[in-house]
Structure 1
Amino acid sequence: MKHVKDNHITSQKGVGLIEILITLFILAVGLLGVAALQFVGSFANKDAISRTQAELVAAQVAERLRAAARPATVGDGMVVNNAYFSTSPYNFSSLSCTGSTQPYQCFCLSKPAAVPNCENNECSEQQMAQYDGWALSCSAVQTNPQTTISVGCNDNNSADIYTCSAGSRIEIILSWPVSSSGNQKYTLNTRCNPSTGTSNACVLKDITL
């Protein structure tokens, strides 16, 4: 009796190369999404820290100005020394450093010799303005070394001896450069970017003494 040998197709078992490649592709797409989220999140976190610190420093600037205010000798109201509205006390513009490139480490870990010591000694109004400008600039760059301070005034009486006459509006601006990236988009304030081509975020505070 002749036996006929049957051909049986053996079914595949286990995981094949195609399944592994598909799994790796899905995993890679997921990891890229997480990486992109972290990248965008880091920008948002940095901006949030810079904005929070700038808000605190802007309030400190206003407090220093009010503490330095005195009655005007010409007219009525309160004024501060003209040196507070000069650029030299702020952003370490009148200081030099040959050490660290980071402004906080360079200028703030110890008081530069050119800055008057107004903590233990009596200072004139101009010296106090220089000291306050240095101290406030140190606070500004503590979390973001690119943050700058600007203190200006819309003077309502240019004929008197004051850069900012009594009753004038004082403008305090703390700004830092930003760039739009991914889903992080910035709406730029024209008061922070008076020149075309600049891209700065800022905190603004307007006060009257």
Structure 2
Amino acid sequence: MMITGKQQRGVGLIEVMIALLVLAIGVLGYAGMQLTALKASEDANNRAQATLLGQDALERFLANETAMASYTDVDQWPDESTPPGEKPDVLNDCITSSCNANDLASWDISMLAWQAANQLPAGMIAVDECQHATGISCVVVSWNDDEPNDCMTNDGVNTGIGTSCVVLEVAR
């Protein structure tokens, strides 16, 4: 039995529509991969910034050992993220005038908190004695919905999947 031209009407259009559907699914898959890559790239950038900020904090408090107690006192560190923007006036104090060791520690803490807020989304930083070991200080940098105390447990460091934390340990 032979199919006439009238019976074949629309078959070519259906083939084109199926091809467009397959193409659309492929484009959506590609867009999803790009979005995943963008999120992973942003997370890697945040982790790199947090690591640099943590290293800066370590260097600051190791350079000012006479005020070590000020750096490792968790009450000296802000409880919430500093609003991003211009540097607070207190940050000019140790630049324009001389400071003693404790003033420098307060200045460093203010500067580090300001940097965390400006370099990371809802960024926070704190230095505290590590809960899982004595004589070791932990520099904790967190961002997004995590706070520095969310990154530490009695068993050690909590940097599981989905956490926005970087923890650096230093023996003192």
Q: TM-score, normalised by structure 2?
A: 0.73
| SS of residue paired to 1:150 | strand
1: CA distance between counterparts of 2:102 and 2:47?
29
- Asked whether 1:207 is paired with 2:138, we answer no
Give the corresponding residue for 2:72. 85
Report the secondary structure of 2:97's partner residue.
coil
The equivalent residue for 2:30 is 34
Structure 1's 27 and 122: CA in aligned 2 closer, same or farther, altered over 3 A? same
Matching residue within 115, 120, 129 for 2:96: 120
Q: How many residues align?
A: 159
Q: Which runs of 5+ in 1 are unaligned?
A: 1-7, 71-79, 96-102, 156-166, 180-187
Coordinate RMSD, CA, aligned: 3.5
- Partner secondary structure for residue 146 of structure 1: coil
The reply to whether residue 43 of structure 1 matches residue 10 of structure 2 is: no
Name the aligned partner's letter for residue 168 of structure 2. Answer: K
Relative to its length, the structure with more helix (as a share) is 2
* 1:185 match: none
1:54 Cα deviation from its structure 2 partner: 0.9
Contact kept, 8 Å, 2:123 with 2:141, in 1: the verdict is yes
Identity %: 28
Give the structure 1 partner of residue 127 of structure 2.
Answer: 151
Letter of the 2:142 partner, please give it: S
The structure whose Rg is larger is 1
Verify the 8 A CA contact 2:94 2:107 in the aligned structure 1.
Answer: yes
1:175 partnered with 2:142: yes
1:56 equivalent in alignment to 2:52: yes
Q: Which position in structure 2 is the counterpart of 1:77?
A: none
Find the aligned partners of 1:45 and 1:64 in 2 and give their Cα distance: 29
TM-score, structure 1 normalization: 0.62
Question: What is the CA distance between 1:90 and its match in structure 2?
Answer: 3.5
